[in-house]
Structure 1
Amino acid sequence: MKPAPNWRFEEAARQRGFTAIGGVDEAGRGPIAGPVVAACVILPFGAELPSVRDSKQLSPSQREAAALSIRACAEAVGIAAVSVERIDQMNILRAAQEAMREAARQCCPRLEFALVDGLPVPAFPVPHQALLKGDALSVSVASASILAKVRRDEMMRELDGIYPGYGFGDHKGYPTPAHLDQLAALGPCPAHRRSFAPVREVAHRNAPQLDLDESEVRDAGAEGELVARGYLEGLGLRILDARYRCREGELDLVGLDGSEVVFVEVKTKTRGVKVGGCESVHARKRQRLAAAAEAYLQEHNLLDSQCRFDVVEVILGTAQTPSVRYVRGAFLAGE
């Protein structure tokens, strides 16, 4: 068994003068159905919570017992959920960040500082430190992870009663073989995330096949981005953001390849509507991409990171499988 989380990071924050230190984590980024839920918890420093570990190491009954212990001694608790509709509108990363911000706000004004699992969260309401795998390192983050997981499991059991037949109470929305079988047999329900590939593919397969009109041609770019995202994730790239917009421009996809931040431009063509590949990313476009990339790095405190610019060309046709061409390191910033 892995070592239990400890108070080392909370102690470091106390040495900096903070007293009300919260742990923040989310549950539900991986499922293809249901909300994403985040929790923030402020604990008395050094509280005895022997049952608190990374929530993924605990059984459901152990998590529920641990959640009761956490709530019994917590100085403040905030829990927030972001709906499937919002997830599909803004992408799962931003939805999870929105839930984290709201959970933290529920602990304000008491909350002074937060330890957050994962990467830094833009526009977070208090100073915070991001901890990769924080639920395995910090008691506060591990406690937040447990509270978020327990609440989300409750919500999935409620959805099981509303949409019977999918087994939400068992798999909690994760893409298990049983869930995928039921999804294929019954089609998506309102609790499913339409922006996630397994759901999107079933919905597309069940939809009537119509000729493309002008609005569908305009949507080809969005479809190409979804194809590119799935392709890159299959190669092991971790997607951090999609359709990032700022004053300087837009980035189709932002990923992480090891320690390198990757900015991806997606070019799509469909049924005679040609959109060029690398050659269409002209000098002015590259300048806009570089400016948007710099804005992203600054916003996420990643200015010291290595980065590169890739291009993915997607051809959407009548074939079931789109054609993809991936150009790694297609150009350099400032070219």
Structure 2
Amino acid sequence: MNEWKISKIKEFLEMNQMTDELKLRLLNDTRKGVHKIVQEYEKKEEQQRQLKEKFIEMSQFEREFWKKDERIIVGVDEVGRGPLAGPVVACAVVLPEDFCLLGLDDSKKIHKAKHELFYNYIVNHALDVQVGIVEAQEIDEINILQATKKAMREAIHLISLPINHVLIDAVELTGLTYKSTSIIKGDQKSISIAAASIVAKVTRDRIMKEIDHQYPMYQFKKNSGYGTKEHINAIEQYGITEIHRKSFLKSINY
């Protein structure tokens, strides 16, 4: 390999696994650029190892139920409890036992640039994905906690498979006809809940981008309805809309 250009070595390692023999040959190469390629490769391998460990750790709840022959596990999460405008969106996801998406985590911990990529992978590989939505007017009528629970129930009830168990992020849902477990910080501890959080996040962001066409002055495509300085300034200038949560705005004197 000593006669290979550095670019060719890099290209080779992008397509092939590095063996101990190959690593030794590369380290014996006198070129600093080759040593740097080895370091970058090992760093990438370590990152992959950590991601695999994290994914296995987050699969513990699912694997325990799968061992008990409870195959249809529904992960449930919501997005949009805090904004001043727009709906609360919940998602219910059923993942297959061979599902693997390294880097899956709470949507808030995943770079926004990856949200759409993860969303597409999840909806294309999940056994079922359903969404429940409760609009701002109803949030004002029944309060945000009850609206969140309603959106979650709607998403769960749309699942077409025979549910064995429901894993829910933090919220306790009563009255379900299936066994359920509420997990604090579940979107960091369960791959099913984490997948639901991604789908709910992307779904709600898309809704807010559509609303932005109708009300561009509030910059909903940027703030997703949260109370940013720009959003508050727009409310002061233009007033509130039908998609604003009036019960939330009372707390900031609007």
TM-score, length basis structure 1: 0.57
Task: Tell me the equivalent position of 2:59.
Answer: 7
Partner SS state of residue 85, structure 1: helix
Q: Distance in 2 between matches of 1:164 and 1:177?
A: 15
2:205 to 135, 146, 153: 153
Give CA deviations for 1:77-123 in whole Å, capped at 9, x if unaligned. 11111111110100000001001001011114432211100121122
Give CA deviations for 1:171-226 in whole Å, capped at 9, x if unaligned. 00011111111111211111100011457722xxxxxxxxxxxxxxxxxxxxxxxx
Gap runs ≥5 in structure 2? 1-49
1:118 to 166, 170, 193: 170
Q: Distance in 2 between matches of 1:36 and 1:171?
A: 15
Q: Letter of the 1:42 partner, please give it.
A: V
- Aligned ranges 1:204-219 → 2 under 5 Å: none
Task: Tell me the equivalent position of 2:182.
Answer: 130
Task: Tell me the equivalent position of 1:141.
Answer: 193
- Aligned ranges 1:58-137 → 2 under 5 Å: 58-137=110-189
Task: Tell me the equivalent position of 2:81.
Answer: 29
Gap runs ≥5 in structure 1? 203-335
- Aligned ranges 1:200-239 → 2 under 5 Å: 201-202=253-254
1:40 to 92, 101, 112: 92
Task: Tell me the equivalent position of 2:23.
Answer: none
Is the Cα contact below 8 Å between 1:135 and 1:141 reproduced in 2? yes
Deviation of the 1:68 alpha carbon: 0.5
Q: Distance in 2 between matches of 1:145 and 1:57?
A: 11
Is the Cα contact below 8 Å between 2:76 and 2:90 reproduced in 1? yes
Q: Distance in 2 between matches of 1:125 and 1:161?
A: 40
- Aligned ranges 1:178-193 → 2 under 5 Å: 178-193=230-245
Is the Cα contact below 8 Å between 1:194 and 1:200 reproduced in 2? no
Deviation of the 1:59 alpha carbon: 2.5
Q: Letter of the 2:132 partner, please give it.
A: A
Q: Distance in 1 between matches of 2:251 and 2:221?
A: 18
Task: Tell me the equivalent position of 1:246.
Answer: none
Q: Distance in 1 between matches of 2:252 and 2:160?
A: 38
Relative contact order, higher structure (CA 8 A, sep 6+): 2
Deviation of the 1:125 alpha carbon: 4.3
Which 4+ stretches in 1 moved above 3 angstroms? 1-5, 197-200
Q: Is the radius of gyration larger for structure 1 or structure 2?
A: 2
Task: Tell me the equivalent position of 2:42.
Answer: none
Q: Distance in 2 between matches of 1:174 and 1:96?
A: 17
Q: Distance in 2 between matches of 1:123 and 1:162?
A: 38
Q: Letter of the 2:224 partner, please give it.
A: K
Identity of aligned residues (%): 36
Q: Distance in 2 between matches of 1:161 and 1:167?
A: 9
Deviation of the 1:46 alpha carbon: 4.0
Aligned residue pairs total: 202
Deviation of the 1:157 alpha carbon: 0.4
Task: Tell me the equivalent position of 1:165.
Answer: 217
RMSD (CA atoms): 1.9
Task: Tell me the equivalent position of 2:39.
Answer: none
Q: Which has the higher helix share?
A: 2
Q: Distance in 2 between matches of 1:11 and 1:80?
A: 26
Partner SS state of residue 44, structure 1: coil
Give CA deviations for 1:237-289 in whole Å, capped at 9, x if unaligned. xxxxxxxxxxxxxxxxxxxxxxxxxxxxxxxxxxxxxxxxxxxxxxxxxxxxx
Q: Distance in 1 between matches of 2:124 and 2:197?
A: 16
Q: Letter of the 1:174 partner, please give it.
A: Y
TM-score, length basis structure 2: 0.75
Task: Tell me the equivalent position of 2:106.
Answer: 54
Q: Distance in 1 between matches of 2:73 and 2:148?
A: 20
Task: Tell me the equivalent position of 1:174.
Answer: 226
Q: Distance in 1 between matches of 2:94 and 2:217?
A: 39
